[in-house]
Structure 1
Amino acid sequence: MSGETTTVKSVCRMCHGGCGALVELTDGVPTGISGDPENPTSRGYFCIKGKASLDLVSSPDRLRTPLARTGPRGSGSFKPISWDEALDEVARNLRRSMEQFGSESVVFGQGTDRNYQEWVFRLANAIGTPNVVGPAHVCFYPRVMASILTYGGFTFCDYHGDPEVVLLWGSNKVNTHSDGVIGVDLLGALERGSRLVVIDPRRTRTAERATLHLQLKPGTDAALALGLIHLLIAHDWYDEQFVARHTSGFDELERHVRAYDLSTVAGITGLEPSLIETAARMYARASRACIEAGTGVSQSDNAFDTHRAIAALSALSGNLDAPGGDVIWDPMPIEGRRGFPRTDLLSEEQAAKRIGGTAHKVLSMSGWVAPGDLQEAILRDSPYRISSMVVFGSNPLVSHENATATEAALTKLDFLAVADMFMTPTARLADIVLPASSWLERDQIVEFNSYIAARQRVVTVEGARSDEEMILDLARRLDLGHHFYPSLEDALDAKLSGIDLTWQQFKKVGHLPNTRRYRKYATAGFRTRSGRVDLAHRGLEAMGYDAVPVFRPPASTTDELPFVMTSAHNLPFFNTEFRQLPTTSRRYREPHVTIHPRSAAGLAVADGDQVEIYRDPEGAGVVMTVKVSDTVAPDVIVADAGWWYPGEEDIHAATRSSINRITDSGRRDPYMGSSTLRGVPVGLRPVVTAEAEAEKEPEPEETADAEAEGGGGAHGAHSTH
């Protein structure tokens, strides 16, 4: 060993953030990682997830060879096989499904997009199946589709334009670093004088930095958005010139929001009327303002209409595509999310077979299938048989709503393959498990709103392959190679052809900024059928929906279910990932549920006690550790989301603290199929441990003595408990 040390620039993908990374290699082995101060987005920032990246390379729990199931599903009984054997088996089963039940009987599953989403869709379209399932319905796509249908594109906060006011809505951006515009940019804007309004049922650290915190009841965001619109119009705080020149449907929206007066909205949201009015005035009268809406808005049956109302609010205020406002994304000329999936390969006849396509038409327009619709289709064999599924980078048994139905559906499949880095509860149900590579082990073009970057392979872990390489190999085996490329590098070259660079050239460049252009509508109009911002949408109306955004009240609490559950992810983790890494799990060994002190006293629980969160008082719930805090309202609890225990081999033991064991598909967004994962009425009960029971019950001989002494001994036993 020479001890030679080199440093490679890359882009971290432990989450969506895309922070610049400097990877230190000693004799070709990663020995250190830190933030890249030259990265235009992160500027040297690097969180605990990024620092845990090296754990992925060396983890003893990594999958390093393909596996074939040898025992019953869920038993964890597998044998190692070669990559050729594994991919041949996957291809053989996909062919069998297509021949027996049609191409639509094959489903592809995907988790969060790490720039292989477009590859998954390309393979699905080439095969001829319209069925790709993932978290789109409760993540980015309610916002994407609401924005596209309202004004023809989706937006990002222009933090570099120094907004005077930022509305951070259902997002804790400083922790989550979402969408390639990470919390560093928000913090920079605040340091330069931007004022922050946080809309969140929790008092987060970000909320504590805000000028205003609107701590509304979970599930009432749509009512608040419509109420803010009402205030802008009623007080003439909207941009009349922009509305007259560039919008349609204003009069209809104005009539609709009259019902959302200040008193009504305050009663629905639980907010003080003066606080709502102050927030509306701050936002509307700011010279530059933007809205950062997160997934907290997307996880209810009001997801799409809430985002539609937020989009309308941006337009009415005159901040749409304006400096310091909500800038419409203008992609660089590379073959990415729009062109690479090759939607032209999927016939109209096959597209019409998409599961849930008639129930949730807007989600279907985006190409996705909602998990709840897929569960029903598999379990009922309706509208047709679903036979095989291949899952890339997802743990549906934990991440999808209604874990019981998810398990039943996955178990019923004729064939299930899972590509992952670790043996997850979902992988335990698979027939074939494919070991995937980490971000340090793959070449990718990372596309953000403000720049594109080269994420280059810095190390190879023997036995693991990237999702893109697996897809290329599967395409060849299915005689679909002509729709793809001879190699991954050829594909990357093709993606970069629009900017006249090859992959080898782009790696040396590192990243290229995207020019930010404002008020593009002034010359080209908006990319809608009307060419305007559609505050009332005739197309949605023709599809059987409401032309204007509406508010559907959340489910009410009851005597048996007196709390409203919302959820959040822990900072060191990303959705269901990284539970087994020493760096990220060091401080988080168990999931927590945050409870107000008054509620904790009523339940007779304290910090560190365990409680069971339930939907059915007679049924099982999920177990979490109590954290007592006044950061939530007395009738609200916040549960850690995406939790599972990697050390447990039994599926049910591994998922005993996953909140999706108590969520369901009963209340779904009519446009997107978004399930209600937040704003869920629940009950709580203390968990009585075996040790506590032993303390409570006297020994048999003590009982006899107590009876002989007239019961005084029994009283003493309960007093000491």
Structure 2
Amino acid sequence: MNQPSSHPLALSQILGACPHDCPDTCSLLTTVQDGVAVKVQGNPAHPHTAGSLCTKVSRYPERTYHPERLLHPLKRVGPKGSGQFKPVSWDAALSDIAARLSSIAARDPQAILPYSYAGTMGLVQGESIAARFFNKLGTSQLERTICAAAGGEGLVQTLGGKVGMRVEFFAESKLILIWGSNSVSSNLHFWRYAAQAKRDGAKLICIDPRKSETAEKCHEHIALLPGTDGALALGLMHELIQHDWLDPDYLDRYTLGWDALQARALQWSPERAAAVCGIAPEQIRALARDYGACAHNGQPAAIRMNYGLQRVHGGGNAVRLIASLPALIGAWRHRAGGVLLSNSGAFPVQRAALQRPDLLAGRKPRSINMVTIGNDLLRAGSPEFGPAIEALVVYNSNPVAVAPESAKVAQGFARDDLFTVVLEHFQTDTADYADYLLPATTQLEHWDVHSAYGHTDALLNRPAITPLGEAKPNTWIFRELAARMGLTDPCFADSDEALCRQAYGDAVDFDALLQHGFVTLPMLDAPFALGNFPTPSGKCEFFSERLAAQGLDGLPDHVPNHEVAHSASAYPLAMISPPARNFLNSSFVNVKSLQASEGEPLLEIHPLDAAARQIADGDTVCVFNDRGDYHCRAHISARARAGVVNGLGVWWRKLGLNGTNVNQLTSQRLTDLGHGPTFYDCLVEVKKSEICRQVDRGNHGN
């Protein structure tokens, strides 16, 4: 591990960007002494970051100089999954990988599958040279849906794109609905704006099954059952219509399909919606009064959605319904009114230039959904499916830990005939199954450029330090593989700095990025005050002709969960798996200071549910369903509502009490729109671990 030297030296500060899957996309300042990063802090010149970082990213030097950091290429020497490797040279590793991939590609390149997601959100280290490499080979394509696909599609079908209000104007709102978001933990810089609005007299209402840290700081908390957000939105619409808390002029001028949506909403009385949501009808009436009062008084009302609410069967429709609400009361007329789930669609990213889909040369390879990787790795070749997957190249992801129904994922990765290459910082659960494990650079060691989804600033990341050991950027690794496989297109020679320039082309001033580290996109303060939605009609589309053309319901509706609460006597508890506060998905799990703060894998359970099972606080419990079982510590807590348990994730499986994590229990079923995951659509039972061992669990053991 590199340490700063003791003699006095000049310090330098390097501008960068946080690469992690978070709405905030902070601008960073890294202090470097004698070539060593000694401090990472928020950039005070960036208005959204305002000099502050979350606890996780402020520990970035600890992560970068971690004693278990991968610094040399490794080759497997033990059984798959054993994590036994030996050092190997870059030349030997890349030559063998290229030979193995070339042999498979000669038979059928679709037998090769890339698997990546948001281990870095960088446009260069994420999907530039890597995408070019796989496009040129003609490999299977990965349908990257594991986080936000349902909600993103819901926005596209309603507002026309992943667009919304500007986050800074939440500070001026008079009512803020924080819907499906633990902002204090996962959207810290939005919370700063919400807290300012609260100090200025705004009312904050949190809608979330869990009594999160955010819910505790709001004026009210509506603890609905998982997957019932669409029913709540319809009940809210019912009351707005019944009491005429609407903006008829906005509805007439700037929306499409209002009559049909109104007829549907009028079927959802507060009593009906409340019965579905597991809350009191008066909570819906009160919420409608608060929201409608803003329309009546001309005050701005804003909704901050996040992705938890769309990780259920009806997630896409739920987002459509919630995204429709601002148009009912004309909230878009105000710059501090409207809705924000994602603004990523506002960024002029030149994806074709970065990824070069033209290299496919007319081929149309199959697409495999990353959510169903457990099933797909175990599938034989067939005319319907295509060839069996023979090779996986994993980067920016840890699927053995984060993909659903992880027993099947691990079983697929354990195949002796599956050739697996993993680019990583640490020996994760997935890395244990690699044939070759290649050391990748961290954000402090490479160039990259970033968009955001929680604000509207583009950011640049400069390397602050020389890569440790033999770590290499993703781009370098794929360039070298391309060369060894005879892929000679000039695009593989583009440098990382050139790729950073290509990411936005002329749409963003790159010199300003170099100078300041960020550039604010030009946008109207109130982008939809006069309609102008990026839909085919230019209006907020309550009715989507595009969905109707696919044979789907053009109107949004409440779509029940695959696993509806109280529908299975063997599994009476609904389970959600929100991220642990000190982790970000499976990142930071092995950072010792953060691991110490988090403690151990926990299941939050309501006192009534614990008492019914004779579970005491701190007991080791077995959480199980037909897909498997997961052992962890029970924490009896009012954060869990009755009938719902919270399995805080995502711990690495090998750190779990029985070598599993919460995704042992989640399913590979998909959402209504966007082919996304249904992590929070999951029924379980909970027993003390010793009781589980004493009884025959029948078919819920695996």
Band the TM-score falls in, shorter-chain normalisation: 0.7 to 0.9
Aligned twin of 1:366: none
Aligned twin of 1:389: 392
Q: Is residue 127 from structure 1 mapped to residue 130 from structure 2 by the alignment? A: no
| CA shift for structure 1 position 196 | 1.2
- The residue type equivalent to 1:23 in the other structure is T
Q: Is residue 304 from structure 1 mapped to residue 316 from structure 2 by the alignment? A: yes
- The residue type equivalent to 1:376 in the other structure is D
Aligned twin of 1:488: 496
Q: Call closer, same or farther: CA 1:675–1:510 in 2, change over 3 Å.
A: closer
Bigger RCO (CA 8 Å, 6+ sep): 2
Q: Call closer, same or farther: CA 1:480–1:529 in 2, change over 3 Å.
A: farther
Matched residue count: 665
Greater Cα shift, 24-33 or 85-94: 85-94
1-side partners of 2:30 and 2:232: how far apart? 45
2-side partners of 1:477 and 1:226: how far apart? 57
1:290-333 deviations in Å (ceiling 9; x for gaps): 22211211211111111111122233232348401237848777
- The residue type equivalent to 1:375 in the other structure is N
Q: Call closer, same or farther: CA 1:672–1:42 in 2, change over 3 Å.
A: same
- The residue type equivalent to 1:416 in the other structure is T
1:503-552 deviations in Å (ceiling 9; x for gaps): 7x733332222233145457883322223222111211121211112223
| CA shift for structure 1 position 36 | 2.7
| CA shift for structure 1 position 264 | 0.4
Q: Call closer, same or farther: CA 1:344–1:513 in 2, change over 3 Å.
A: same
Aligned twin of 1:48: 55
| CA shift for structure 1 position 394 | 1.0
Q: Is residue 452 from structure 1 mapped to residue 458 from structure 2 by the alignment? A: yes
Over the residues paired in the alignment, what is the CA RMSD in angstroms? 2.8
- The residue type equivalent to 1:423 in the other structure is Q
- Aligned match for 1:117, one of 113, 126, 129: 126
Q: Call closer, same or farther: CA 1:535–1:331 in 2, change over 3 Å.
A: closer
Q: Is residue 498 from structure 1 mapped to residue 506 from structure 2 by the alignment? A: yes
2-side partners of 1:240 and 1:523: how far apart? 14
Aligned twin of 2:68: 61
Q: Is residue 291 from structure 1 mapped to residue 323 from structure 2 by the alignment? A: no
Q: Is residue 438 from structure 1 mapped to residue 445 from structure 2 by the alignment? A: no
1-side partners of 2:115 and 2:175: how far apart? 41
Q: Is residue 545 from structure 1 mapped to residue 547 from structure 2 by the alignment? A: no
1-side partners of 2:419 and 2:333: how far apart? 47
- Aligned match for 1:561, one of 534, 554, 571: 571
The 8 Å contact of residues 42 and 182 in structure 1, kept in 2 or not, is answered as no
The SS at the match of 2:67 is coil
Equivalent residue runs for 1:205-224 within 5 Å: 205-224=213-232
The 8 Å contact of residues 630 and 660 in structure 2, kept in 1 or not, is answered as yes
Aligned twin of 1:3: 8
The SS at the match of 2:414 is helix
1-side partners of 2:25 and 2:477: how far apart? 23
Aligned twin of 2:273: 265
The 8 Å contact of residues 178 and 206 in structure 2, kept in 1 or not, is answered as yes
Aligned twin of 1:705: none
Q: Call closer, same or farther: CA 1:481–1:421 in 2, change over 3 Å.
A: farther
Greater Cα shift, 28-37 or 295-304: 28-37
1:487-514 deviations in Å (ceiling 9; x for gaps): 11121233354157557x7333322222
1:333-391 deviations in Å (ceiling 9; x for gaps): 7645575334444466516x323xxxxxxxxxxxxx24226733752434111222211
Aligned twin of 1:427: 431
The SS at the match of 2:690 is coil
Q: Call closer, same or farther: CA 1:332–1:189 in 2, change over 3 Å.
A: same
Q: Call closer, same or farther: CA 1:348–1:142 in 2, change over 3 Å.
A: farther
Q: Please, which runs of 5 or more residues in structure 1 have no aligned partner? A: 356-368, 694-721
| CA shift for structure 1 position 41 | 0.8
The 8 Å contact of residues 151 and 533 in structure 1, kept in 2 or not, is answered as yes
State, as a whole percentage, how many aligned pairs show the same letter.
26
- Aligned match for 1:662, one of 643, 662, 665: 665
- The residue type equivalent to 1:610 in the other structure is T
- TM-score (norm. length: structure 2): 0.88
Aligned twin of 1:238: 246
- TM-score (norm. length: structure 1): 0.86
- Aligned match for 2:39, one of 32, 39, 44: 32
The SS at the match of 2:597 is coil
Aligned twin of 1:319: 331
Equivalent residue runs for 1:388-407 within 5 Å: 388-407=391-410
Q: Call closer, same or farther: CA 1:106–1:480 in 2, change over 3 Å.
A: farther
- The residue type equivalent to 2:328 in the other structure is L
2-side partners of 1:577 and 1:633: how far apart? 28
- Aligned match for 2:615, one of 599, 605, 608: 605
- The residue type equivalent to 2:536 in the other structure is R
1-side partners of 2:591 and 2:343: how far apart? 35
The SS at the match of 1:208 is helix
Aligned twin of 2:474: 467
1-side partners of 2:482 and 2:530: how far apart? 43
1-side partners of 2:503 and 2:593: how far apart? 35
2-side partners of 1:432 and 1:518: how far apart? 50
The 8 Å contact of residues 121 and 132 in structure 1, kept in 2 or not, is answered as no
Q: Call closer, same or farther: CA 1:381–1:257 in 2, change over 3 Å.
A: farther
The 8 Å contact of residues 373 and 403 in structure 2, kept in 1 or not, is answered as no
1-side partners of 2:164 and 2:8: how far apart? 44
Aligned twin of 2:375: 375
Aligned twin of 1:364: none
1-side partners of 2:601 and 2:374: how far apart? 29
2-side partners of 1:528 and 1:486: how far apart? 36
- The residue type equivalent to 1:677 in the other structure is F
Aligned twin of 2:699: none
Q: Please, which runs of 5 or more residues in structure 2 have no aligned partner? A: 695-702
- The residue type equivalent to 1:277 in the other structure is R
Q: Call closer, same or farther: CA 1:331–1:661 in 2, change over 3 Å.
A: closer
1-side partners of 2:107 and 2:505: how far apart? 40
The 8 Å contact of residues 566 and 678 in structure 1, kept in 2 or not, is answered as yes
The 8 Å contact of residues 118 and 336 in structure 1, kept in 2 or not, is answered as no
Q: Call closer, same or farther: CA 1:106–1:668 in 2, change over 3 Å.
A: closer
Aligned twin of 2:411: 408
The 8 Å contact of residues 108 and 124 in structure 1, kept in 2 or not, is answered as no
2-side partners of 1:676 and 1:561: how far apart? 17
Aligned twin of 2:686: 684
The SS at the match of 1:424 is coil
The 8 Å contact of residues 154 and 673 in structure 2, kept in 1 or not, is answered as no
| CA shift for structure 1 position 14 | 4.8
| CA shift for structure 1 position 128 | 3.0
Aligned twin of 1:358: none
| CA shift for structure 1 position 63 | 0.7
The SS at the match of 1:506 is helix
Aligned twin of 1:89: 96
The 8 Å contact of residues 402 and 662 in structure 1, kept in 2 or not, is answered as yes
1-side partners of 2:463 and 2:223: how far apart? 44
Aligned twin of 1:701: none
| CA shift for structure 1 position 22 | 2.7
Q: Call closer, same or farther: CA 1:133–1:266 in 2, change over 3 Å.
A: same
1-side partners of 2:596 and 2:203: how far apart? 35
